[in-house]
Structure 1
C-alpha cells in the first residue's frame, strides 16, 4: 500500500472519474509516500496550511492501471525522512477502485500532523 495526501473536498470532487491532482499535470506524476511515518513527515513539511480536513488515501499499488515507479526525493527528502528513502510516483490518475481506505490526518494543538485515523 502507498499513501497520497489530499484535502477531502478535492478528493470528493467528481467521484465518478479517476483522481488526477494538479501534480499529475505539473510534474507528470502523482506524489505518494511509502508508509504512514513518511506521509506524516510530508504533511508537516508541505501541507500544514492545506484546507482541512486533510486525508491520506491508502492506495493498493497492485490495483493501479497507471505505472508506479519508486524514486528518490529531489532535491532531498523532507525533514524527518531518511536520506535514500524512495517515494512512489504514479504516472497517471489514481483509479478510485485502488483506494482501499481514506484516513483523516490528526493534528496536535501546535498544528503538527500526529497520525492517521
Structure 2
C-alpha cells in the first residue's frame, strides 16, 4: 500500500523546498536538445513509469549508490517545484516509510535551476558539492 503526504507549499500550491533528480549526462543532453525532460529513473521513461522520480537533498547520495553504483558520473538536477507545471506528490510506492517527491508529468526545463555534474571519488562514493 502506498503512503503519501503533502509537502509544505508556497503560493500556487508547489512544494516550498528544492527537490533533486539524478540523471546521466546522456539523458540530460538529450533533454536539453529536445527542450523537455521525459525520463523517470535510470533507463526508464516518464511514459513507462508515470512520474519522474525525485528526492530530497538528504536522499540523493543513497539513491546514487543504489541505482547508479556502476556509474562514474551523473548530473544532479536541482528543481524549483514552484516552476513546475506538473503536480508533485510525496509518496513511497514500495511500502516503506521514507517519502520521495514524484513529479507527475514532464520536468519543465525552466524549473531546473542547476544541472550539477557529480563524480564518484576514485573507487569511492559520489560526493555532493558542499554548498548544495
Where does residue 36 of structure 2 map in the other structure?
18
Q: TM-score, normalised by structure 1?
A: 0.81
- In 1, distance between residues paired with 2:54 and 2:100? 6
Q: Which runs of 5+ in 2 are unaligned?
A: 1-17
Aligned positions of 1:87-98 closer than 5 A:
87-98=100-111
Equivalent position of 1:40 in the other structure: 61
Unaligned runs of 5+ in 1: 77-83
Q: 1:14 to 1:71 in 2, by over 3 A?
A: closer
- 3-state DSSP class of the match of 1:113? coil
* Cα RMSD (Å): 1.8
What secondary structure sits across from 1:105 in the alignment?
strand
Matches of 1:32 and 1:13 in 2, distance apart?
19
Measure, in 2, the Cα distance between the counterparts of 1:116 and 1:20. 26
1:27 aligns with 2:40: no
Task: Please report the TM-score for the alignment, with normalisation by the length of structure 2.
Answer: 0.73
Residue 105 of structure 1: CA displacement?
1.7
Aligned residue pair count: 108
